[in-house]
Amino acid sequence: MEKILDVRNLNVSFDTYAGTVQAVRGVSFYLNKGETLAIVGESGSGKSVTAKSLMKLIPNPPGRISDGEILFEGKNLTTFSEKQMQNIRGSAISMIFQDPMTSLNPTMTVGKQIMESILIHQALPKKIAREKAIDLLKMVGILNAEKRFSDYPHQFSGGMRQRVNIAMAVACNPKILIADEPTTALDVTIQAQILELLKILQKKMGTSIIFITHDLGVVANIADRVAVMYAGKIVEIGTVDEIFYNPKHPYTWGLLGAMPNTNYYGEELVTIPGTPPDLLSPPEGDAFAARNKYAMKIDFQIEPPMYKVSETHYAATWLLHEKAPKDILPDFQKKIKRSLGNEKSIRNISNSNGKKEKLLEIKNLKRYFPGSKKQVIKAVDGLSFEIYRGETFGLVGESGCGKSTTGRIISRLYTATEGEVLYNNENIFKKKSDSEIKKLHQKIQMIFQDPYSALNPRLTVVDIIAEGMDIHGLYSDKKERMNRVYELLETVGLNREHGNRYPHEFSGGQRQRIGIARALAVNPEFIIADEPISALDVSIQAQVVNLMKKLQKETGLTYLFIAHDLSMVKYISDRIGVMYRGKIVELAESDELYNNPLHPYTKSLLSAIPVPDPLMERKRKRIVYDEGNAWRDKEEEPVLREIKEGHWVACTNQEYQKYQKESDVI
């Protein structure tokens, strides 16, 4: 294999007022021609900085490459002048960024932006560059390319914009394409399309790809080799199979364990306790030691060297030293073994608590918003489902399907255009007096998606948590009130001292815990969690989900869990409703839904989730849901029908018969 890129001992640091932050600390790796190397790690691990410094895109000052070599085709890029780098950027090495919504210039047509890439690096007449740009648009799968050439970015959807970004990046047949979390901001089905597109382009053009992500499912799907980064270092690197089936570093074990695999259920997710170290003053020894339960004394003193596991597989952990204990079985492997045995039995216990009591019932709920040009946006359009006391109901769907609107209607943040929401058999919109509404708000609480904007930055944690208690006058005694706040802080895994601090002093995961404590403060029965973990890192997600499960077990809470991450929903929910265009298209117990999906949209959604298992990823076939076709065949409006006990699908009469046959066979 021919090495196209060889990075040796790369160090990148940022000069800040507080001191020098060593974002990348001695990273070495190589990239072969035509392969895909994935760099995984949590936020702050230095993966993005590494990628950007390969193109010398680190803003300077404050950032600088303080040491190391970047050998691209044998030439050291660190010695290149800015002018020389401009010739490399976009032609030999190019990059796609995370957020397609902001990475295109809003005031320039997409065609011009693509043409620009071509014209900078190739002496072509404008007309030919234009034709080339149109060809590129066609190649990345944009229909009607000639017309769309002169459209502006805001006239494209997120997925389409990312395609434009890709067209721009590959315009000059780059040797290396760096993709910095290119699918993180996209829905799963769109993500699957983009990943497929990248693979096709790679095959066509022989490009090497550096793919940065935190999603191990995506890694399993696209990578040939994987580098795991932690605290500015590569802690493990190897082929995708070596990393997934024979990981050596405890941090890799943690990452793998924290991902809920859709194939097992029940046990707590493995969490990595704590948070990554502050790179202003990196810890001595192994940076991961403080969060590593297998850490030995030496881990806190001396940094482990890279041990060679195989020709392609290296890991930096003292566990590979010849004197280290050999009988360690990583957590995530234990879990797989156990789940094979008694997966079903765990599920049954949680559901067999006698007869089910309806807590919430939604009947034909509709919510329309006024749109542009006298159109109405039907955010929620005839939604019906029930939630039973003590269960977790998962509501999944892609962005814009109306799942968040639903949550907001139930908590009375929005009114309904039509339909009923019955809570404890009482219509919540019938409640008129302030005290009635107040009572309702005490019972129904919300946890929000973005922990950074959901907490008032001017209030201390105590005030944030106690605000609800004060509104409802739960505690008249000051001491009692404080005790309750402290108790809540401890319940969510924080301690008393945290109470007097302000939100900005906490990490994302800690803030989400504060959000949960705030919701719990008024002793609610029902919590609406609107994408509570999607802004968090994998290992932190696991911490929050475990906390939510624990609270449910202890206090019998009922959850409405709204999310687009299907694997996490499957893990936490008892029943799941799949939403599409403001309606539920399928509703079933979560195992049933995953093992036996009937509606074509559910099937396509499930087939789009990348699983953190390379072998499965290679076998997987994506099912595409063509809504246009699906609707055209129907003379009658599909309605929710029960195919078998507890499994509902939106279908016509004819489909109903078909589905019943299908599910009988299974």
List residues binding other proteins (CB under 8 A).
Answer: 55, 57, 83, 86-91, 94-95, 97, 99, 102-108, 116-117, 120-121, 143-144, 147-148, 151-152, 154-157, 160, 165, 168-169, 189-190, 372-373, 624-628, 631
Q: Which is nearer to other proteins, 57 or 440 (CB)?
A: 57
Q: Which is nearer to other proteins, 298 or 377 (CB)?
A: 377
Q: CA 253, 255, 259, 265: dihedral to nearest 10 degrees?
A: 30
Q: Which is nearer to other proteins, 108 or 413 (CB)?
A: 108
- The minimum distance between CB 56 and other proteins, in angstroms, equals 10
- Give the containing element (helix H, strand E) for 546: helix 538-555
Please give the backbone phi and psi of residue 613, each rounded to the nearest 5 degrees, phi first: -155, 105
DSSP string, 158-200: HHHHHHHHHHHHTTT--SEEEEESTTTTS-HHHHHHHHHHHHH
Measured CA to CA, the distance from residue 488 to residue 462 in angstroms comes to 10
Residue partners of 31: CB distance under 8 A and separation at least 6:
3, 4, 5, 6, 37, 176, 208, 210
- The minimum distance between CB 171 and other proteins, in angstroms, equals 8
Q: Which is nearer to other proteins, 48 or 252 (CB)?
A: 48
- The minimum distance between CB 334 and other proteins, in angstroms, equals 40
Q: Which residue in 165, 213, 44 sits closest to 610, CA to CA?
A: 213
Q: Which residue in 128, 140, 65 sits closest to 96, CA to CA?
A: 140
- The minimum distance between CB 116 and other proteins, in angstroms, equals 6
Q: Which residue in 431, 439, 456 sits closest to 523, CA to CA?
A: 439
Q: Assess contact for 493 and 520: CB atoms under 8 A.
A: no
Q: Assess contact for 572 and 347: CB atoms under 8 A.
A: no
Q: Which is nearer to other proteins, 41 or 100 (CB)?
A: 100
- The minimum distance between CB 324 and other proteins, in angstroms, equals 43
Q: Which two tokens stand for residue 605?
A: 């959604």
Q: Which is nearer to other proteins, 197 or 287 (CB)?
A: 197
Measured CA to CA, the distance from residue 115 to residue 127 in angstroms comes to 10
Measured CA to CA, the distance from residue 341 to residue 332 in angstroms comes to 15
Measured CA to CA, the distance from residue 571 to residue 258 in angstroms comes to 11
Q: Which residue in 189, 227, 249 sits closest to 36, CA to CA?
A: 227
Q: Which is nearer to other proteins, 192 or 464 (CB)?
A: 192
Q: Which is nearer to other proteins, 129 or 289 (CB)?
A: 129
- The minimum distance between CB 627 and other proteins, in angstroms, equals 5
- The minimum distance between CB 382 and other proteins, in angstroms, equals 18
Strand ordering across the sheet containing 558-563: 444-447, 526-530, 558-563, 392-396, 575-580, 583-589, 647-651, 639-644
Q: Which is nearer to other proteins, 123 or 666 (CB)?
A: 123
- The minimum distance between CB 642 and other proteins, in angstroms, equals 28
- The minimum distance between CB 631 and other proteins, in angstroms, equals 8
